[in-house]
Structure 1
């Protein structure tokens, strides 16, 4: 027997037992794993095109829910701290004099402690975003997805169980566990965005990721509802206290129980989400591009469509294919040198600069207001009350009003418009409108009525969530290549949370500067208009840096990664962009449409709406395709392409199986040969794939028609 050549591409895989025959890529057959294709690059691209072109279905809803439930918890934990600060002050700072570890401050949370509670979570989030973003690119998205959620659950439960003592104060314990919680929350940002992006079809990718992010608004709403229900449940204990300093033993006991309930409820949906996090399959793009495992990636696609956690494949064939085909995949491998080389290119570094700075300036204003909603509610009359019960009740109701009136409509507006208008227009226009809005709020603050102030604040929340707050989360999960996608998103998000920390450090001291110690309501925030003016400047900077980000609408993740436009990824396997990259228009018949449609002709640097070429599909005979191509080709075009094709082509042709390969070549001597999982099947006929004609050179003959992507039939 001839010796086995390690450089030989692997032969077609043994058909799996549950392989469905008779399908093709123009009319989707989701269980077709393309095992008859031996070229790993073609097999990768066609397999990924199944994800890019698949119609919206139940498995997409499952992916959104799995990612969204975790993000719901993240938002719940972040914003619940706004609603429990008053209760924490009553419990741990209720006595006028320190006693048994309880620092006396007449029931009010000291400003430094208030800032530390909120900034500690943001500090942990920064760590989690960078660390888990890097780990997800190195060890897999699925594995890290369960780890970070487990950290959130543990930290949430520990926060509910802390208590003060003479040996250790409650402040240090709460800050510590809030940092740990933040690490888990930070890991969920890049993972939720990247996993959803890599599982989404091109047409609905923006809407799906935006739907995941919209769970942030739902988390805010549920946190306010839980706080309202808890407050009403302990009404009899709270209503007798005029304010925090008048809260007696029964009132303090009710407050201690209430804040633990509000924080602890967030762990309930997390426990449910944990099961689904650990049962989703690994993203096929990670398996293809980072693990270079062709067989497992095919199985992951099948498992995803079938809503299963793992796919079935021949382990022996998987090991052999990974060893041989992995070297032939035209996908760069991640390394420090490759990372430096990638971001040394200005176009790539510009993307990172745009995503990081835009998120940074956004969170300076968004979290500066979001984490201090109680201050805004006091200024507009929803944060005060005659009794402690009225104060807590009004704060919860005010949060519900702001969320339902501004945040949730903004999130859902982004979901319905982001795949139509694009990410970049929504972000740039959103920043610009917020600049105008904050200028009005800041410079006309003292002349505005409470109703006008509330209306403008709600409009601001709508613009935040319909524009930059959503787009800054989506774009980093799309524009970077697979090997650095999670890391790039983590770095971008971490810069945003650094902005949130800075906002916390400057907002409360600036707002309350010059206020009296016994102030009430709006009197405690005499400089709120100064803060709003500063936010207007941040929004202007956000508008400018948003010009650096790319437009990702309608392009596959492979196109956004900068892969060369070959015959099988030139915008026809899931991309809904037409023509040159500079002229991207939505095509409702993107991807695997039936044969016979007219498709715009595109060339590098040239685009014409009036020049059409017939889309030749799987039902067209090779003879007719060759004859049609010969009759329609202009003479000058043939002469131009003849010289060009003589030097080679960038298209990756289909590799054929060597007729001399036997089982002895595949398995070493003495090794058991596994039995086939199903009876041998004949090789696929013409109707099993897409047709491809090699352009250039002599007129095409029958043998020049190869099994390939239909996109190569389009004249470049």
Structure 2
């Protein structure tokens, strides 16, 4: 593609940062705010649900759900997310990014509200209804991954593209923070209005009947931010890159570009802009024989290793990232953030759990995301991802090798510090870059599909990390395992295994090219495809 043929796409690449770019970050980012809120708030309320529906008289851990129920409630949204990433990624390339973008948000709004309205005559039917709605909630969340990343990458200029995509993803940190804060506010309000004795004083009465409303309200609040941005998401124009390179509509591409760049396409300028867009479309049509599909040899030759790299690194990252949740309970208890369950009633326990998650989000999660936003277009994606995986490996080994030292009374502070750094370098590292890179290195006609495949691989890793390691991290001594779980390999050996996952993620990073400062068409090879 030469001369005027590059004019439309070059205009996007060299455009100055404008107010519309920040508007797009907020609109797309609020989807990720909702995603994180909905996915992470369930871990806040599971103990409360356990107390409400599965209380066992005399149990030292009154909030524990039965293992199968816990796995279903926590895992069904991940399964839905994986499915949605594949489906909406493919649909976004077939019908257009904007055409299906509103569908994902509408699904999230409806299912967030419906999750809080889960009904049934028995605990099993309530949980079944909750799982049904959370599957479809996850399905909508899954669609938001490839669509938001692709839309933001195609709107942005090449100089600040990484920061813009990272800023969208960084809204997850605020969503996690909001989940913890909502748990604090709602539990505190109900605790003041409906006081109950401590569990040790009155086991049967420590869960007030009104507690059933608390978890429902917390889940339903997830629909509010999504509903607030639905109108503005529907007003977003289709990306000019999709219109020019995939839909091949010259006039619409020029109009879409003008909306993004806030340029009035008047009578004097419209012919020139439209002619440039027509040249782009003409080049694509003239060289249409070079179009190739996802399952073609040409795709494998050009981008096969890239897809292996983005999918494998995301999978390995999420195995390690979601497995970190295994140790949060021990850390919170060790530093006194969460008292023993037997000393609290149901609402007090939710309050302390929400407070702990809020502090973790403030101290580790949110800063890690925004370090990436500030430095990704300076250091580059490759450097941040390699350093992140390396530091995760180092700190996990630092936890595993002297594990018995850290678990000795008086050494818990060092364990907390090591754990916090592991979490920080996950966010200022591969947890952000694995989301960004798949939106930059694949052709426009396959960009959302490939991002969806990469993201689905990551969610498969999340399922393995959340549930596979839940069993593996159990003590080898059956007498010390949680109710209903078989003995595993123990926490120390699990940490060694997670360190190995992080190191493998570092190795697979070398399959992924650096995209800093390059146009999307240069990275995907579409410039060469369309040269005449």
Mapped pair 1:489 → 2:445? no
- Do the aligned partners of 2:57 and 2:204 also contact (CA within 8 Å) in 1? no
Mapped pair 1:271 → 2:233? no
1:605-642 CA-to-partner distances (Å, cap 9, x unmatched) read: xxxxxxxxxxxxxxxxxxxxxxxxxxxxxxxxxxxxxx
| Change in CA separation of 1:270 and 1:372 when aligned onto 2, cut-off 3 Å | farther
1:571-630 CA-to-partner distances (Å, cap 9, x unmatched) read: xxxxxxxxxxxxxxxxxxxxxxxxxxxxxxxxxxxxxxxxxxxxxxxxxxxxxxxxxxxx
1:518-570 CA-to-partner distances (Å, cap 9, x unmatched) read: 989xxx9993333222211110111111111000000000101113469xx9x
The match for 2:422 is: 460
Give 1 or 2: higher helix fraction: 2
1:306-336 CA-to-partner distances (Å, cap 9, x unmatched) read: 399x999999x99999999845435647977
The match for 1:79 is: 40
The match for 2:185 is: 229
Mapped pair 1:348 → 2:303? yes
Mapped pair 1:557 → 2:520? yes
| Change in CA separation of 1:242 and 1:487 when aligned onto 2, cut-off 3 Å | same
- Do the aligned partners of 2:4 and 2:276 also contact (CA within 8 Å) in 1? no
- Do the aligned partners of 1:92 and 1:107 also contact (CA within 8 Å) in 2? no
| Change in CA separation of 1:124 and 1:301 when aligned onto 2, cut-off 3 Å | same
The one of 112, 121, 129 equivalent to 2:68 is: 112
2:440 is paired with a residue whose SS is: helix
CA–CA distance in structure 1, aligned partners of residues 165 and 291 of structure 2: 28
Mapped pair 1:425 → 2:383? yes
CA–CA distance in structure 1, aligned partners of residues 44 and 201 of structure 2: 14
1:691-712 CA-to-partner distances (Å, cap 9, x unmatched) read: xxxxxxxxxxxxxxxxxxxxxx
The match for 1:480 is: 442
The match for 1:143 is: 99
The match for 2:137 is: 181
The one of 65, 68, 87 equivalent to 2:29 is: 68
- Aligned-pair distance for 1:340? 0.8
| Change in CA separation of 1:234 and 1:126 when aligned onto 2, cut-off 3 Å | same
1:484 is paired with a residue whose SS is: helix
CA–CA distance in structure 2, aligned partners of residues 456 and 380 of structure 1: 14
The one of 246, 253, 256 equivalent to 2:203 is: 246
The match for 2:322 is: 367
The one of 17, 21, 25 equivalent to 1:56 is: 17
- Do the aligned partners of 2:471 and 2:488 also contact (CA within 8 Å) in 1? no
The match for 1:410 is: 368
Number of residue pairs aligned between Structure 1 and Structure 2: 517
After the TM superposition, which residues 284-323 of structure 1 pair with which residues of structure 2 at under 5 Å, given as runs? 284-306=240-262
- Aligned-pair distance for 1:163? 2.0
Mapped pair 1:531 → 2:488? no
CA–CA distance in structure 1, aligned partners of residues 278 and 18 of structure 2: 35
CA–CA distance in structure 1, aligned partners of residues 123 and 350 of structure 2: 31
CA–CA distance in structure 1, aligned partners of residues 24 and 397 of structure 2: 40
The match for 2:467 is: 505
- Do the aligned partners of 1:299 and 1:313 also contact (CA within 8 Å) in 2? no
1:170 is paired with a residue whose SS is: helix
- Do the aligned partners of 1:141 and 1:191 also contact (CA within 8 Å) in 2? yes
| Change in CA separation of 1:368 and 1:318 when aligned onto 2, cut-off 3 Å | same
| Change in CA separation of 1:328 and 1:55 when aligned onto 2, cut-off 3 Å | closer
2:473 is paired with a residue whose SS is: helix
The match for 1:205 is: 161
Q: Which has the larger radius of gyration?
A: 1
Mapped pair 1:543 → 2:506? yes
2:252 is paired with a residue whose SS is: helix
- Aligned-pair distance for 1:510? 2.4
CA–CA distance in structure 2, aligned partners of residues 49 and 478 of structure 1: 15
- Aligned-pair distance for 1:157? 1.2
1:512 is paired with a residue whose SS is: coil
The match for 2:55 is: 94
2:199 is paired with a residue whose SS is: coil
1:343 is paired with a residue whose SS is: helix
**Unaligned segments of structure 1, at least 5 residues:** 1-39, 98-104, 570-649, 653-716
Structure 1, 48-57 or 299-308: larger mean CA deviation: 299-308
| Change in CA separation of 1:106 and 1:86 when aligned onto 2, cut-off 3 Å | closer
1:460-491 CA-to-partner distances (Å, cap 9, x unmatched) read: 11101111100000000001010111001000
The one of 148, 164, 169 equivalent to 2:120 is: 164
- Aligned-pair distance for 1:239? 4.7
Structure 1, 332-341 or 405-414: larger mean CA deviation: 332-341
The match for 1:215 is: 171
- Aligned-pair distance for 1:300? 0.4
CA–CA distance in structure 2, aligned partners of residues 444 and 413 of structure 1: 30
1:251 is paired with a residue whose SS is: coil
- Aligned-pair distance for 1:299? 0.2
| Change in CA separation of 1:334 and 1:162 when aligned onto 2, cut-off 3 Å | farther
After the TM superposition, which residues 587-602 of structure 1 pair with which residues of structure 2 at under 5 Å, given as runs? none
The one of 335, 339, 352 equivalent to 1:394 is: 352
**Unaligned segments of structure 2, at least 5 residues:** none
The match for 1:637 is: none
1:234 is paired with a residue whose SS is: helix
| Change in CA separation of 1:466 and 1:322 when aligned onto 2, cut-off 3 Å | closer
CA RMSD, Structure 1 to Structure 2 (Å): 3.4
CA–CA distance in structure 2, aligned partners of residues 412 and 44 of structure 1: 37
CA–CA distance in structure 2, aligned partners of residues 311 and 95 of structure 1: 72
| Change in CA separation of 1:83 and 1:48 when aligned onto 2, cut-off 3 Å | same
- Aligned-pair distance for 1:159? 0.6
| Change in CA separation of 1:340 and 1:280 when aligned onto 2, cut-off 3 Å | same
Structure 1, 199-208 or 84-93: larger mean CA deviation: 84-93
The match for 2:404 is: 446
- Aligned-pair distance for 1:274? 1.1
CA–CA distance in structure 1, aligned partners of residues 150 and 267 of structure 2: 24
CA–CA distance in structure 2, aligned partners of residues 311 and 469 of structure 1: 43
- Do the aligned partners of 2:40 and 2:179 also contact (CA within 8 Å) in 1? yes
CA–CA distance in structure 1, aligned partners of residues 425 and 480 of structure 2: 35
2:382 is paired with a residue whose SS is: helix
Structure 1, 330-339 or 250-259: larger mean CA deviation: 330-339
